[in-house]
Structure 1
């Protein structure tokens, strides 16, 4: 898609809301809402998925997540075994991700309870960044979106690229906390302009870059 200005981007998103892809976006949002009502264990499973997608792909993360669900591997495999499985399934950073998942188990039993008792998703994001090794602002926003929160921006490479190409932001050299939150405000402004939640806008923009609506 040829996107050279904010106006181009708004037009494309408006058109997609009238397209059949909107049904897929709406279905995915309903899945996130349904996950919000599920157990601590299922929230932890989603947290592990988000740990796996950092510097990797959502598709690979989903493949690993689906396999692990069959053997309850995120909770039961020791670090060595987990590392071996991740390597076999093609994850580049299999040792580090195995380490992060094992460390995250300290919060597996009550991850949902902790987050839902916090003031809001912004407070929850700060807690995740501080307490879950391997989770930054992007990954914590991703996790919270996938468990039903809708007011956080997931500033991955696809979203940053499209915001740069449409002249909404300059190319960020690094994503410090301050820079992340500033860009998030621009994303909020864009979402308001097209009448979408941040969760919905993310899925539409991801589709323009990848041709898929994953999670």
Structure 2
């Protein structure tokens, strides 16, 4: 972060204005709103199988392409719950995943938690509290992966901090790129994103999609 508070505020204002300009583009805003509604519908109305599939997707996309993860999720379907670990590993390898063995292992180990995670998602609670529980109990989840999952099932109070977001914030001069993303640093960056979202009047879920669009030109999940 810049040592000059005034310069930092100017940088924050610049990012806020750039996101606001995106929210005023009808085609982008409609894409974001449609995606957010899909997330909320999944969390509230989706089956426990659907929610576990989304959890598995978020495990797959760690250090991997989101678009390829979406394609794998569609292809495997209920296999996240039904395939043997060996079958799942073979399917992931066939579809080009970078870490088929470890991801298959994580997904199979998480199956006993499926119903409990489903119940917790469907309660109206704090995303940050649930994120801490997920990080402690779900194989393959750190803060980023847990936040990604929670956003994708309708929570709006957690930030997904990946290299796209870090690069963007560094480009605006709001942070210096961290050598490693510790929990402390993750929370510090999340607070910056909370300040941006508050200024604009949107949730962290919407902000993430707008920032992703700024970096990639796409609104994925």
Smaller-chain TM-score range? over 0.9
Q: Does 1:23 align with 2:20?
A: no
CA positional deviation for 1:119: 4.5
SS in 2 for 1:42: helix
- Could you say which residue in structure 2 is the equivalent of 1:33? 40
Pairing 1:1-215 to 2, within 5 Å after superposition: 5-19=11-25, 20-37=27-44, 38-69=46-77, 72-117=78-123, 119-215=125-221
8 Å Cα contact 2:43/2:122 also seen in 1: no
Contact 2:42/2:51 (CA < 8 Å) preserved in 1?
A: yes
Deviation at 1:209, TM superposition (A): 0.7
Separation (CA, whole Å) in 2 of partners of 1:110 and 1:39: 13
**1:110-158 deviation per Cα after TM superposition (whole angstroms, max 9, x unaligned):** 3211344584211110010000111000000000000000010000111
> Structure 2 vs 1, CA of residues 32 and 118 (structure 1 numbering), >3 Å: closer, same or farther?
closer
Matched length:
210
1:146-182 CA distances to partner (integer Å, 9 max, x unpaired)? 0000010000111111011111111111111111111
Partner Cα distance (2:52, 2:154) in 1 = 14
**Cα distance in structure 1, aligned partners of 2:42 and 2:121:** 14
Structure 2 CA distance for aligned equivalents of residues 9 and 109 of structure 1: 40
> Partners of 1:8 and 1:52 in 2: how far apart?
34
Give the TM-score of the pair, scaled to structure 1.
0.93
SS of the residue corresponding to residue 115 of structure 2 reads coil
Classify 1:180/1:33 alpha carbon distance in 2 versus 1 (closer, same or farther; 3 Å).
same
Unaligned runs of 5+ in 1: none
Q: Which blocks of at least 5 consecutive residues in structure 2 are unaligned?
A: 1-9
Rounded Cα–Cα distance in structure 2 between residues aligned with 1:202 and 1:118: 21
1:214 is paired with a residue of what secondary structure?
A: coil
Give distance in 2, aligned partners of 1:131 and 1:171.
Answer: 29
In structure 1, the partner of 2:3 is none
Query: What is the alpha-carbon root mean square deviation over aligned residues?
Result: 1.5
C-alpha contact 1:142 1:154 (8 A) present in aligned 2: yes
